[in-house]
Amino acid sequence: MTTLISIMKTSGQIESELNYIKPDSTLAPEVFYSGGSAPQTYNDAYAFMPATIDDARSSQETISVHKQGFELVKAPTEHKDFTDEKAIAASYYDEVIAIIKAATGVKDVFVFDHTVRHGSTNSSRKPAHHVHNDYTEQTAQSRAEERIGAEQFAQLKDRRMIQINVSRPLVDVVQRSPLAFCDATSVNQEDLLVSRIHFPDTDHVGEIYALRKAAEQKWVYFSEMTHDEVVLIKGFDSDNDGVARFTPHTAFEYPDQDPTIGPRASIEVRRSRKREVELYES
């Protein structure tokens, strides 16, 4: 008897599909959140389309949150309980602040909030399967002012602001729904489109950037990320002089996914950073 064994590929170059804005779409993108375990839905501006995603661990290029818009950092954590919201804010936030300061040399760090994502069917915060940047030019500023406070934000208005998302797996090794990142150097600003986000049971409509698919875009991921690693994802930079300002990213699926592997879980902590520009230059 012949037995066929299929081995799931979780490293190296991957051919998958990403949920972009169609190149020829004339519709304004819209995302609709259910507020429950049902997945978010999209209008017809969105479509899953083929993409080649390279393994950044195989790259000879130094990948930096300053240039490409994302960066992998080895960062073991002492925090154990990621189910206790108050404990996360009380102790894990301090770890994240230390990670940011060590990786970037930043002076001031303000934590916005955090999100714990679970890929399980009953979770209301699943991995996001649409290409997006967390903020637009407008919402990056308004969100920072809201969280930091208008008075302190006004005091910092002449300093550079950078928003970074720190994402950590809450599984030993990621083998489902990894994150893919679009190299900011390959993104045309004109392909970043404002996408309206509709929330259930409220009149509030938010906005993020969606990405229109283009041939020159370069996608990468970090294969088999571990719990002792974090990835820094730049959502906004007020400097527009040759640095990454926005970083489109999304969860994606392995085409030969082993269905017996449990869902991915992760925590994202968002913070704003204010500092003098000269501390950033090198």
192-220 pLDDT, tens digit each: 999 999 988 777 788 999 999 999 999 99
With respect to residue 8, please indicate whether it lies within any of the assigned structural domains.
Answer: no
Say what the pLDDT of residue 120 is: 58
Say what the pLDDT of residue 126 is: 65
If one compares 279 and 164, the residue with the highest pLDDT of the two is 164
Listed in sequence order, the residues at least 6 apart from 53 whose beta carbon sits closer than 8 Å to its beta carbon are 13, 14, 15, 16, 180, 219, 220, 221, 252
With respect to residue 4, please indicate whether it lies within any of the assigned structural domains.
Answer: no
pLDDT over threshold 60, residue 275? no
pLDDT over threshold 90, residue 128? no
CA 54, distance to chain mean position in Å, is 17
Number of separate domains in the chain: 1
Listed in sequence order, the residues at least 6 apart from 130 whose beta carbon sits closer than 8 Å to its beta carbon are 19, 31, 40, 42, 46, 210, 250
Chain segment 3-22, per-residue pLDDT in tens: 444 578 899 999 999 999 99
Chain segment 68-127, per-residue pLDDT in tens: 999 999 999 999 999 899 999 999 999 999 999 998 888 888 888 888 887 656 655 667
Amino acid at 40: Q
With respect to residue 217, please indicate whether it lies within any of the assigned structural domains.
Answer: yes
Q: Which domain holds residue 153?
A: 14-279
Task: Give the lowest-confidence range in 109-113, 264-268, 278-282.
Answer: 278-282
Identify the sign of the CA torsion 243, 248, 250, 255.
negative
State if pTM tops 0.85.
Answer: yes
pLDDT over threshold 50, residue 63? yes
Q: Contact at 8 Å (CB) between 181 and 15?
A: no
Say what the pLDDT of residue 21 is: 97
pLDDT over threshold 60, residue 137? yes
Say what the pLDDT of residue 45 is: 96
Chain segment 227-241, per-residue pLDDT in tens: 999 999 999 999 988
pLDDT over threshold 80, residue 272? no
Say what the pLDDT of residue 155 is: 82
What is the average per-residue pLDDT within 35-49? 88
Say what the pLDDT of residue 141 is: 87
Say what the pLDDT of residue 4 is: 45
What is the average per-residue pLDDT within 162-183? 95
What does the mean pLDDT of the chain come to? 87
pLDDT over threshold 90, residue 191? yes
With respect to residue 128, please indicate whether it lies within any of the assigned structural domains.
Answer: yes
To the nearest whole percent, how much of the chain has pLDDT over 90? Answer: 61
Q: Contact at 8 Å (CB) between 99 and 73?
A: yes
With respect to residue 19, please indicate whether it lies within any of the assigned structural domains.
Answer: yes
With respect to residue 1, please indicate whether it lies within any of the assigned structural domains.
Answer: no
With respect to residue 117, please indicate whether it lies within any of the assigned structural domains.
Answer: yes
